[in-house]
């Protein structure tokens, strides 16, 4: 998605440790017009799928998911991060390792809002190691729902999450795949 | 907002301890069409204000804020909840007491995204004790930004937050004010 790549080149900031800061337009301050175009692009890419639910994870996925859901005319469900040890039986739950925070947490979705009649598109802002996406996919499988695919705004192509999911047969669409970033020069190389 | 009140009457669930569950359409599963109408309604109510930024707090405020921002044609900034003890100087920060979780947490917004040129509408899903809203207002003041007002989807009118803020002169628009709820019968009484 050229509009997105241009924006990342213009406003993205490359930091040491493979960090790409896009918090001026995607995940702290949000450019809602860009989000709207992102929603339309995912609708275009998954137009052949009979999607009836968008699934994401709090917090930075929610804004994106809302605009994708508007493009499809379907509801959003967002998984919650939980520190609760004992989780009641009315939720689907999965464990996710956070590399950013260096700890494992549970993600939960109420069984009322994810079930066997759902055809699900999972969306999120970033894909790096793929831990969050694997957790969300696990919730979809446990619920007996159908996974139509995953839509990612920015994939870090030099980290293993994307290729690992593709190798498992997951239909994954990333709007921008960053293959290399240089914190010295700020240069960002996108996959063609 | 009649559409919202009808939806709360139809799908809201009253639980013991002054809990109103609206997670089938507002803050776990999200009805994006309803959110769109909510966005338009806030635009109508604050049409006289020259708002250039929507401020909310993660997580459940984000979806609402995105649709309000779309109605106004301005960006969203969402405050992050932080457990970090030492916060660097590049953020505005405030302390918020969470009655739900029984502990205090910090909320932060980057100084890059909230400053003296901003005319801010704060939005959130619920207002009860007003702790989150007071924290967000404090960030706006610290940033030297102008607070145009606060837009709340559901105010619990039997809890002190709303009246306390109005008494302080804050322009507060709540789309539905619940004055009483009965967990036995499920009956919900809205303020006229």
Token look-up 């920060």 returns B93
* Residue with token string 């799928």: A49
Look at residue A96 in the predicted model and tell me its pLDDT. Answer: 93
pLDDT score of A103: 86
Confidence band of B2 (pLDDT split at 50, 70, 90): very high
Asked whether the beta carbons of B122 and B55 are under 8 A apart, the reply is: yes
Q: In sequence order, what are the beta bridge partners of A54?
A: A76, A121
In this model, does residue A41 exceed pLDDT 90?
Answer: yes
Q: What residue in A sits closest to B108 (Cα-Cα)?
A: A28
- Of residues B58 and A87, the one with the higher pLDDT is B58
CA–CA min distance B127, chain A (Å): 20
A152 neighbors A175 (Cβ within 8 angstroms): yes
* CA atoms of A144 and A122, how far apart (whole Å): 15
pTM, full prediction: 0.96
The per-residue pLDDT for A15 is 93
pLDDT in tens, A171-184: 999 999 999 999 99
- The yes/no answer to whether this complex scores an ipTM above 0.90 is yes
| Pick from B137, B145, B161: nearest CA to B111 | B145
**Dihedral sign computed on CA atoms, order A116, B20, B173, B123:** negative
A105 vs A51, more confident: A51
Is pLDDT above 70 for B89? no
Mean of the pLDDT values across residues A108-112? Answer: 96
Q: Which of A125, A122, A121, A120 is nearest to A34 (CA)?
A: A125
Q: What is the pLDDT of residue B186?
A: 95
| Chosen from A74, A75, A143 to mutate, greatest number of chain B CBs within 10 A | A75
Q: State residue B134's pLDDT score.
A: 97
pLDDT the model gives residue B192: 87
pLDDT at A82 over 70: yes
Contacting B residues, span 77-106, partner chain A, CB-CB under 8 Å:
77-78, 80
A105 backbone φψ class: left, alpha, beta (φ>0; ψ -120 to 50): beta
The predicted pLDDT at position A88 comes to 58
Mean per-residue pLDDT for B106-133?
Answer: 97
CATH number corresponding to A2-80+111-184: 3.40.50.2020
**pLDDT for the residue numbered B100:** 72
Average pLDDT of B74-92?
81
Count the alpha carbons within 13 Å of A115 in the hemisphere toward its beta carbon: 7
Residue B67 pLDDT exceeds 80: yes
Two tokens, residue A135: 């957790």
Closest by CA to A105, choosing from A132, A70, A129, is: A132
Q: How far is CA B160 from CA A40, B102, B131, B142, B167, in A?
A: 42, 18, 10, 24, 11
Q: What's the farthest any 2 CA atoms get from each other in chain B?
A: 51
Residue B13, pLDDT > 60, answer yes
- Mean pLDDT calculated for residue range A55-77: 97
**What ranges make up the beta strands (E) of A66-157?**
76-82, 91-98, 103-110, 119-127, 146-156
Task: Give CA–CA dist B52/B67, Å, rounded.
Answer: 14
Contacts of A110 in chain B (CB under 8 A): 23, 28-29
| Mean pLDDT in residue range B41-62 | 97
List the single best residue of B75, B92, B101 to mutate versus A (max A Cβ within 10 A).
B75
Rounded distance between C-alpha atoms, residue B98 and residue A86, angstroms: 21
Q: Is the pLDDT of residue A85 over 80?
A: no
Q: What is the CA radius of gyration of chain B?
A: 16
Per-residue confidence (pLDDT) for residue A192, from 0 to 100: 87
Q: Is A67 on the interface with B (CB under 8 A)?
A: yes
Round to the nearest angstrom and report the end-to-end CA distance of chain B: 11
Average pLDDT, chain A: 95
Binned at pLDDT 50, 70 and 90, residue A83 comes out as low
* pLDDT of B85 strictly over 60: no
Q: Where are the alpha helices (DSSP H) in A81-172?
A: 131-142, 161-167
| CB proximity list for A37: less than 8 A, separation 6 or greater | A1, A3, A4
Q: Residue A175 to residues A5, A152, A156: CA-CA distances in angstroms?
A: 8, 6, 11
- Judge whether residue B53 has pLDDT over 90: yes
Q: Is the confidence at residue A86, as pLDDT, over 60?
A: no
A114 dihedral zone (left: phi>0; alpha: psi -120 to 50; beta): beta
Q: By three-state DSSP, how is residue B112 classified?
A: helix
Statement: residue A140 has pLDDT above 70: yes
Best CATH choice for the domain B2-83+91-190 from the list 3.40.50.2020, 3.40.50.300, 3.40.718.10, 1.10.1660.10: 3.40.50.2020
User: Can you tell me which residue has the tokens 């984000």?
Assistant: B62
* CB contacts < 8 A (A, B): 95
Dist. CA A159–CA A155, nearest whole Å:
8
Cβ contacts of B110 on chain A, cutoff 8 Å: 23, 28-29
User: Which one of A25, A78, A112 has the shortest CB-CB distance to B24?
Assistant: A112
Please tell me the predicted confidence (pLDDT) of residue B88: 58
Over pLDDT 70: what percentage of chain B? 96
């Amino acid at each position: 998605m050229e509009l997105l790549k241009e924006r990342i080149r213009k406003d993205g900031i490359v930091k040491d440790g493979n960090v790409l800061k896009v918090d001026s337009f995607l995940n702290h301050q949000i450019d809602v017009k860009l989000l709207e175009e992102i929603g339309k692009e995912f609708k275009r890419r998954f137009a052949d799928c009979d999607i009836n639910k968008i699934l994401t994870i709090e917090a930075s996925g929610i804004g994106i998911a809302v605009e994708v859901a508007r493009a499809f005319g379907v509801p959003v469900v967002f998984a919650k991060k939980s520190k609760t040890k004992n989780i009641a039986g009315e939720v689907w739950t999965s464990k996710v390792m956070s590399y950013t925070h260096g700890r494992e947490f549970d993600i939960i979705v109420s069984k009322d809002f994810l079930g066997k009649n759902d055809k699900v598109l999972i969306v999120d802002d970033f894909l790096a190691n793929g831990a969050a996406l694997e957790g969300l996919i696990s919730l979809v499988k446990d619920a007996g729902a159908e996974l139509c695919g995953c839509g990612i705004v920015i994939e870090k192509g030099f980290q293993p999450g994307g290729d690992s999911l593709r190798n498992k047969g997951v239909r994954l669409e990333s709007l921008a795949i960053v293959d290399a970033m240089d914190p010295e020069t700020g240069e960002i190389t996108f996959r063609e």
